[in-house]
Structure 1
């Protein structure tokens, strides 16, 4: 945690182990460094809806016990029906109301929110649905920067409560290095969306808004062939993104 604090981060976003002792040790360390904690759920992948529902509930309740600022969840499956995914969204809402821990739903491939035009339907039909915007997944899924889906993106921006600042491109969910000039177009496409989110939040007089710099390790990060060495330093890239956005939105 020392490097996280020294780099200037205000907190971390992470899942927690199921072992109670391990969970308490991690939470204690986070607290000792004065860091905020956002819970992250991604682990529920059971393809059978009934079992998926049970595990989803169990994992959300386990995270809520830690009293994070909120829980960011990758919810449902792209092949579940609307009604099935809505049951999971409704369950998350009930858990949030019971525990006092907000639950928001991340835009992510493979989940109910895997594409802009699909998520648009959920946002239209579920008026209180809030999202974490990771638009890198949508650019990749659509193989465009969504200039032909402006209304869907604008609706998503209006419901965004948190941002994952991974930068993707139309053929992949993560570019190699946002500092490299060849990726400037991709970076700018993301910044344009994030700027609109922050502008709206300022109009709504929101004092604090959370962003997780989320450039991932392999397989998100490409590796050199044969040696399997990373072609860029993941830590440096995430610190760069954190610093860039802190300065841009201060």
Structure 2
């Protein structure tokens, strides 16, 4: 097996060429994020990907970005899902990842959305992971478990950091059945490190957050083992420490407590080291 690491477009303030240079300098393999909607920017982005031989994971947000538009219906989300997926095919993504649905829907509406979105994915002949994201359909581990019993066999993009803050604890240590289910459905992993009071520790290098780092490493390795058992020859991960309230800032000055790209590149290099050691172990 091999590990492919991606840089997230979210939080990048430079040019597409700058992003590509960071990817290559860090030993990463591609970029994840939404395809630009502006035709000129879109063409430039695709050109940068191809010129630098970078892989691409296309991101779909069904209304809004991290949070859904207020009052948006299942039909609104399905329309956005289909439209963005179809328009992103131009960039020939490796696969898709989607912040989809709405945590305020009743259970039957969430089942309907996942069922019809899955049918769209199957019809296009592509692969897509539905993300475990706050404010979205898979926002809570127990609700996700119940939804997966009713919905078709969707694949998932796992960002366990959201579940840590939603439940105010390193929750998957208490839900081994949900962790097993995640390992059975995982397509992709977004390895941000969450803790009981937030989706992003201020700095994963700091010793006071070692418990959270170790917990996430345990969970990711469990998922890797599940993917290996399912025949995956490649693991994909996008370190996703981000801005917009995730990155901690000093009061008054608003000075960031850490450099965003340093956090993501450090996480990527930690994953490379851990993956190499894990991959040398005999298969379960």
Instruction: Provide TM-score, normalisation by structure 1.
Output: 0.94
Greater shift, 110-119 or 17-26, is seen at 17-26
**Runs of 4+ off more than 6 Å:** none
Farther-moved stretch of structure 1 (161-170 vs 59-68): 59-68
Of 40, 48, 72, the residue aligned with 1:29 is 48
**RMSD (Å), alpha carbons:** 1.6
**CA shift for structure 1 position 79:** 0.9
Range 62-71 or range 50-59, more displaced: 50-59
Counterpart in 2 of 1:19?
38
Structure 1 residue 187 and structure 2 residue 213: aligned?
yes
Relative to 1, partners in 2 of residues 1:55 and 1:127: Cα closer, same or farther, differing over 3 Å?
closer
1:140 matched to which residue of 2?
165
Q: Does 1:101 align with 2:126?
A: yes
Q: 1:86 to 1:20 in 2, by over 3 A?
A: farther
What is the aligned length? Answer: 250
Name structure 2 gaps, 5 residues minimum.
1-19, 277-284
- The yes-or-no answer on 1:244 pairing with 2:265 is no
Do 2:99 and 2:133's aligned partners in 1 also have CA atoms closer than 8 Å? yes
Residue aligning to 1:126: 151
Residue 76 of structure 2 is aligned to residue 51 of structure 1: yes
In the TM superposition, what is the alpha-carbon distance from 1:127 to its structure 2 partner?
A: 4.5
Which range moves more in the overlay, 151-160 or 82-91?
Answer: 82-91
Q: Report if aligned partners of 2:200, 2:241 keep a CA contact under 8 Å in 1.
A: yes
> Alignment partner of 1:183: what SS?
helix
The answer for the alignment partner of 2:29 in structure 1 is 10
- Deviates further, 61-70 or 1-10: 61-70
SS of the equivalent of 1:210 reads: strand
> What is the CA–CA distance in structure 1 between the aligned matches of 2:270 and 2:48, rounded to whole Å?
27
Which moves more between the two structures, 89-98 or 135-144?
89-98
Q: Tell me how far apart the structure 2 counterparts of residues 21 and 169 of structure 1 sit (CA, whole Å).
A: 40
- The alpha-carbon distance between structure 1 residues 236 and 76, as it changes in their structure 2 partners (threshold 3 A), is same
Question: Is the contact made by 1:60 and 1:92 (CA closer than 8 Å) also made in structure 2?
Answer: no
Change (3 A) 1:42 1:30: same
**Stretch moving more, 212-221 or 17-26:** 17-26
Q: Distance in 1 between matches of 2:212 and 2:108?
A: 34
Q: Measure, in 2, the Cα distance between the counterparts of 1:68 and 1:82.
A: 31
Q: CA deviation at 1:43?
A: 5.3
Whole-angstrom distance in 1 between the partners of 2:83 and 2:229: 37
